[in-house]
Structures are given as C-alpha cells and as structure tokens.
Amino acid sequence: MDITRTMKKLLIIGWVWPEPNSSAAGSRMLQLIQYFQSENYSITFACTAQRTEHMADLNKLDVSSVDIKLNCTSFDVFICSLQPDVVMFDRFMMEEQFGWRVSEQCPQALKILDTEDLFCLRHARHAAYKKNKEMIEANILSTELLSSELLSSELAQREVAAIFRCDLTLMISPKEIELLTGLFKVDASLLHYLPFVYNQEQLEQINPSYGQRQGFISIGNFRHPPNWDSVLWLKQQIWPLIRKQLPKAEIHICGAYPPPKATELHDEKTGFIVKGWVDDAAKAMQSARVCLAPLRFGAGMKGKLAEAMLCATPSVTTNIGVEGMQTQLPWAGEIANDAVSIANAAVNLYQSSEAWQHTSELGKKNAQLLFEQNKRFLNFSNCLTKLLNNLTQHRQNNFIGSMLNHHHHKSTKYMSQWIEAKNNTK
C-alpha cells in the first residue's frame, strides 16, 4: 500500500493566519497547503492570533480553520478528537507552546517544524548591524563572524532545541542548513531543504519588455525589520544618488502594514512614492524596470527577489539578499553592499537595455533552477514517506531530541498548567 496516497490528516499550528499577499511567509504557507492537499491530506489550520482582513480565505481552499488558546486544556480536547497524522508547527514558538501537548495526546503524529527563516540568525545579524553600522562593507554580518554570538544566544538555544525536538524541519535556505549542521551539529536527517516553489505556468509567464516598464520598485512587509531598514537606507542615502543621475525617475515603495513613519517618507517631488499595500504584488513587480532590495541584515530566502525572478525584473541587492538564492549562473541583476555601488548598479540596469535584457533572462533561468515545483515536491514526498514508514527508528536515532523533549515538555507542561490554574482563579 502506498502510504502517501491514503487519506491522512494534517494539523498546522500557525503563528499567524496566512496572508499570501502581505508576506513571503504567507505565500510559503499556501504552497505547503497546496502540497499536502496534492498528497491527499485533509488539513486543519489552528492559530492563537487574531484573524485579519488580509488573511487567506481558508474555507475556499477547503482548509478547516480553528481558533485555539495558549495554556488551555481545550487544545488537548481538540487535538485528541482530531488525531492528526502529521502536525506542522509554523515557527519554533508554536512548537514551544504546543509540542508537549501534541506528544501527549498524539504521540504517533509526525512533527514538522517550518522555520521560514532562522530567527536566531536574523536577530543576531540585526544586533551586530546596530553595533557595527560602519563596518557593514567589511562583511561584519557574515555567518562565520557571528558564530560566537549565535552560540551564546538564548534565542538560538530555543530555536535549535525546537529543531531537535521535531522529527523534521523544513529549511528554505541551504546556507542555514550548513549553519545548523556545522555550528550546531544538527544531524542532516532532521533537516529538509524546501525553498519557494512555483509551477511551470508561473515560471514561464510572459512579462513586459524593457520599453514597457518604468521606474523602480522596493517591496516588503513593513513589519519585518530588515524591510524597514532597507526603506530607510533607500530614502536617506541610495535614492538621492539615483535621483541625481535620473532626475525624473520614481521608486514605488510597496508593502503591507505601512506605519505612519513610513507614509511620512512619501515625497512626490523627489519621486519617492510610498504606495503601501498593493492588491497584486506580481503586477507591481512586472511594471517596474528594476527592483531594489538593499538588505543590511536578515536570513532565509527573500520572497521579493524570488518574485523579481519570476517577473523577469532585474534586482540590485546585497550579499545578505542573495544568500541561499544563488545558482551556478550569475545573479539576475547586481550585487553591491554600499550606497554608491548600489545606486550606480541600479542606474546602469535602468538605462542600459542590453544589460537589462541579459539580467532579465537570467532571472527566469535562475527561477527554474531554484523553484521548480515538481522536483521539490517529489523530493519532499520521498522524505515524508521514508519518515512515516520508519518513525520509531528515526526517533531512536535522535537521542538529543528525545532528551530535550523529556525535559522541556515536563517543565513547559507544569508551567502551562500553573498559568491556566492562575487564569481560572481570576
């Protein structure tokens, strides 16, 4: 019997409700939902967060949605009744909160952690950047130079412990897999590389030509610190340099949840247009001639740069931006790490139809190499089939995970019960 084709149940415990038009993380979650549905899973999405106006209509996607509570035995009743075959935690914080309850009520369930990006790496880079702004060009934020800071980080200890406690962790960046296996000694059998995925229709879409496009674009959720820092760098240093060479050019700053401090940067006189939310991010990307993503810290794979590749829009970004997204082919644009170099690269791509055409074509080729859906989903299916058929042995091989599960779940269980009892007395 083919275990991957029998009807199974998947429970996703979300950090937030998925918003595919607001963030790369939201799009990624819908891709995972699509995969599990193609494998004949019935899916329930449970979340402690408030529902939002931009969240995906899960009912239309044939996904059940359930509101759950922290530190409450109502979750035990819920999951015991559901009896999922697979539980997927959206970020390590959800595993910390609910992992022990899953293990108690459904010990047979395969536990998967979806990291999106490594929180500990992103936060360590952010902290290093704030301390060493003037040393950014010296590559102070490289993973190697952060090793001691990461090893002493409480956030790293929490996140890596969650990875050990799960049966499998989905990684979006090969660079982060190298960090986990090299620095933190996580066994490769606990990790699976699954980047963004797109079908052939998306990979082969027809895009506007050089002459049909105008202006620059920068896009990203404003609640994501690397994106906000990128916007400020553009406004304060990079855009004035570009505008000096292209006095009539405009840049459209797009993204969900722009705060007042962002909308206040809007300045039509200088062509710095803060548009905020856009209904169709792909259409906005297609209309721009060049995408600017001057990221000074961050982790994971960058959704905006994946979108740029699909839309054949050349991008100018940093070493941080291209991390985990490079192939044997050159980057589909330019890589630069200081304001002057970024501005000059952007102007060159904008003005030179020949340079633009070359890098535009590289975007499509790189996207095929990185994001081809059938290949990535087949590899994931093979991995899951092997795990589901050998789960007992897999867990026995992960002694550190068993040890961490024992100690963490005991302490978390009693703390959660204490919080629940305290809440009930109010």
- pLDDT attached to residue 417: 65
Q: Are 71 and 420 in contact (CB under 8 A)?
A: yes
| Cα dihedral 22/307/274/19 (nearest 10) | 0
Which residues does 263 contact at the CB level (< 8 Å), separation at least 6?
274, 276
Domain 8-197+373-424 has CATH 3.40.50.2000: yes
In angstroms, the first-to-last Cα distance of the chain is 53
Task: Select from 35, 87, 7, 132 the least CA-distant residue to 377.
Answer: 35
- pLDDT attached to residue 410: 64
- Map tokens 């950047």 to a residue: 129
- pLDDT attached to residue 420: 65
- pLDDT attached to residue 133: 54
Which residues does 104 contact at the CB level (< 8 Å), separation at least 6?
76, 409, 413
The neighbouring-strand residues paired with 64 are 44
Q: How far is Cα 409 from Cα 344, in angstroms, rounded to an integer?
A: 54
* Same fold flag, 8-197+373-424 and 201-371: yes
Q: How far is Cα 219 from Cα 214, in angstroms, rounded to an integer?
A: 16
Tens of pLDDT along the chain (426 residues)?
Answer: 344 457 899 999 999 999 988 888 889 999 999 999 999 999 999 999 999 888 999 999 999 999 999 989 999 999 999 999 999 999 999 999 999 999 999 999 999 999 989 999 998 888 888 877 544 443 444 555 567 777 788 999 999 999 999 999 999 999 999 999 999 999 999 999 999 999 999 999 999 999 999 999 999 989 899 999 999 999 999 999 999 999 999 999 999 899 999 999 999 999 999 999 898 999 999 999 999 999 999 999 999 999 999 999 999 999 999 999 999 999 999 999 999 999 999 999 999 999 999 999 999 999 999 999 999 999 999 999 999 999 999 999 999 999 998 877 666 666 666 566 667 766
Q: How far is Cα 129 from Cα 318, in angstroms, rounded to an integer?
A: 14
- Sheet strands side by side (includes 110-114): 64-67, 41-47, 8-14, 86-90, 110-114, 168-171, 191-193
| Cα dihedral 309/310/313/317 (nearest 10) | -30
Domain 201-371 has CATH 3.40.50.1100: no
| Three-class secondary structure assignment of the chain | CCCCCCCEEEEEEECCCCCCCCCHHHHHHHHHHHHHHHCCEEEEEEECCCCCCCCCCCCCCCCEEEECCCCCCHHHHHHHHHCCCEEEEECHHHHHHHHHHHHHHCCCCEEEEECCCCHHHHHHHHHHHHHCHHHHHHCCCCCHHHHHHHHCCHHHHHHHHHHHHCCEEEECCHHHHHHHHHCCCCCHHHEEECCCCECHHHHCCCCCCHHHCCCEEEECCCCCHHHHHHHHHHHHHHHHHHHHHCCCCCEEEECCCCCHHHHCCCEHHHCEEEEECCCCHHHHHHHCCEEEECCCCCCCCCHHHHHHHHCCCCEEECHHHHCCCCCCCCCCEEECCCHHHHHHHHHHHHHCHHHHHHHHHHHHHHHHHHHEHHHHHHHHHHHHHHHHHCHHHHHHHCHHHHHHHHHHHHHHHHHHHHHHHHHHCC
- pLDDT attached to residue 414: 60
Handedness of CA 32, 37, 40, 42 (dihedral sign): positive
| 185 residue type, one letter | K
Domain positions in the chain are: 8-197+373-424, 201-371
